[in-house]
Amino acid sequence: MAKQQSFADKAKGKKKVDFVMVKVVKSVKTDKGTFKFNEKFVKLPDLSKVTDIK
């Protein structure tokens, strides 16, 4: 049997990602005086919007 799909056909079928995933690390001071770090991933439309994250 012949190969039905080439690598070029596979690569052409993929769509471009229109967002950026950014890891946000936030520090929180506990009652004992120690720090905890909360991590989360945020989906942004553009990398220039990083300063707008709260």
In whole angstroms, what is the distance from residue 41 CA to residue 32 CA?
A: 27
Look at phi and psi of residue 53 and say left if phi exceeds 0, alpha if psi is from -120 to 50, else beta: beta
Alpha helices in 1-54 (DSSP H): 7-12
The pTM of the full predicted model, rounded to 2 decimals, is 0.56
17-53 per-position pLDDT tens digit = 789 999 999 999 999 999 999 999 999 998 888 888 8
